[in-house]
Amino acid sequence: MFGETIKNFHINFNARDDRNLYSCGDLITGKLSFDLTKKMTINSITLTLNGKAHVSWRRGTRKHRRVTTANVEYFNLKNVIRVNAEDAVQSKLPPGTHVYPFACQIPQGDFPASFKGLRGRIVYSLLVVLDRPWHRTKEYITEFNMAPSSYTTPNYELMAPLSGTISKTLCCLWCASGPISMNVRLARKAFLPGEDITIMCEFSNGSSRTATPKARLVQKQMFYSQSRGHSTMHTLDLDSKAGDLVDPHSSDVQSELTLTVPSDTPFTISNCAILEVSYLIEMRLSVKRKTVLTVLCPIVIYNPPQYNVASPPHV
């Protein structure tokens, strides 16, 4: 059988760095290796570099349920890395281990980062096809990770601090408490996977109740139909933490909370027509388990080699 003749097939990429990320224009190099248990004739070995996005979800009621799907192909490049000679004797490979180096280049373009979510994915892959005469082709596939090619936010804005302030007066029947306010500050807008995010807060609690601050890091996944006529959303809490209690009738209370971006967090995606991934820090202040104040700070999970932080434009 064909499967018994070829064993230990491997696609090995040459090491780049500890993150093993690729971007548009990068050259991918490596080796294909496999063992043959007996002589075999191989017409060709082809390698296909592919990048695509796919989303799918169900909508509607049971009687009128429909499946919405959408696809985007970014590139599909084929390269022949081995073609046998016409001489049948020369085309036979002997038993043993065979190794073939390969090189292929990712095209230039504004490609989104790799992502796998609840209702969609962006996948970049390398497909190797072995073609034998009078036999079915044998396929092997492996995926590689793509870093984002670009961001819609200018570099200097990614490194600029963020802040938000909100206040409110609580009312109970004919009585009004003093104002409750919250000021939230972040050192910058962009963060790395695995990095800690320090949230600097200032609270004033003019009410007669103790207030509880809580922060959470939220991932928002948006999936769209091909025409963007339909969409669905999925949110995921990546980290959360409660802060120290804010006493009644207190003011200018300083506090810090730290959230951690998980090391495997996907990058922000804003350049895909059918799939978007965004992040925000949600800071809430609650009284008697009821949220009374909320500040939202949108952030970006980014790939640092893409950035040489520029200065803001001169006016």
Q: 245: Cβ–Cβ under 8 A, 6 or more apart, which residues?
A: 210, 211, 212
> How high is the pLDDT of residue 311?
40
Across the range 163-191, mean pLDDT stands at 83
Locus of tokens 């790939």? 303
- Kindly list the distances between the CA atom of residue 145 and the CA atoms of 23, 30, 39, 219, in Å, as whole numbers in the listed order: 9, 15, 36, 19
Angle at 78 between CA 53 and CA 224, to 5 degrees: 10
Over 90: is that where the pLDDT of 169 sits?
no
* Calpha distance 87→310 (Å, rounded): 60
Domains and CATH numbers, the chain: 2-146 (2.60.40.640), 155-306 (2.60.40.640)
Quick one: pLDDT at residue 83?
Answer: 62
* pLDDT surpasses 50 at 307: no
Which has more pLDDT, 156 or 278?
278
For position 26, what pLDDT does the model report? 92
What integer pLDDT is reported at residue 149 of this predicted model?
73
121-166 confidence digits (pLDDT tens): 999 999 999 988 887 888 999 999 999 876 656 677 888 999 999 9
The model's pLDDT over 7-61, given as tens digits with 9 standing for 90+, comes to: 999 999 997 766 678 999 999 999 999 999 998 888 889 999 999 999 999 988 7
296 closest CA partner among 155, 206, 189: 189
- 273 within 8 A of 140, measured Cβ to Cβ: no
In the chain, the percentage of residues whose pLDDT exceeds 90 is: 65
| Residue-averaged pLDDT of the chain | 87
At 2, give phi and psi (nearest 5°). -65, -40
pLDDT at 90 over 70: no
Tens of pLDDT, residues 190-234: 999 999 999 999 999 988 889 999 999 999 999 999 999 999 999
